[in-house]
């Protein structure tokens, strides 16, 4: 994995392309923090690459939701408790008139 500052897109473009050509992961940083991942598109298959990136984002979101559930204690709720929470939220929305 190679790290480049965002400004390297202008100054070290050739080196970035070479890293991608060697199938290295390229991480762009801003103020020293990772900001973007640049990946090579194998075989010019943009559509498949986009689907894979979308799938990876969904998995990261799910992981984040699961971690939050563990942190706030909702990970161990029973189905009856979940159903009760849903019923309460629906009743509150209905009472306030926001039934979206």
Residue 35 in contact with residue 28, Cβ under 8 Å? yes
pLDDT of residue 40: 87
Region 57-79 average pLDDT: 94
pLDDT of residue 52: 92
Greater model confidence, 96 or 60: 60
Region 15-31 average pLDDT: 92
pLDDT of residue 44: 77
Region 86-97 average pLDDT: 92
| Cα separation, 79 vs 58, whole angstroms | 24
CATH of 1-40, one of 3.20.170.30, 3.40.1620.10, 2.60.120.10, 3.90.1310.10: 3.40.1620.10
Residue 25 in contact with residue 2, Cβ under 8 Å? yes
pLDDT of residue 100: 61
Region 86-92 average pLDDT: 94
pLDDT of residue 99: 62
| Cα separation, 47 vs 61, whole angstroms | 21
| Cα separation, 44 vs 37, whole angstroms | 18
Region 12-38 average pLDDT: 93
| Cα separation, 84 vs 40, whole angstroms | 48
The domain segmentation of the chain, as residue ranges, is 1-40, 43-100
């Amino acid at each position: 994995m190679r790290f480049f500052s965002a400004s390297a897109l202008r100054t070290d473009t050739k080196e970035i392309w070479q890293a991608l050509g060697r199938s290295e992961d390229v991480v762009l940083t801003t103020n020293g923090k990772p900001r973007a991942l640049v990946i090579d598109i194998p075989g010019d298959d943009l559509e498949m690459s986009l689907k894979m990136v979308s799938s990876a984002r969904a998995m990261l979101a799910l992981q984040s939701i699961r971690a939050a559930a563990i942190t706030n204690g909702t990970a161990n709720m029973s189905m009856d408790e979940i159903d009760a929470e849903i019923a309460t939220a629906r009743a509150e929305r209905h009472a306030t008139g926001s039934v979206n």
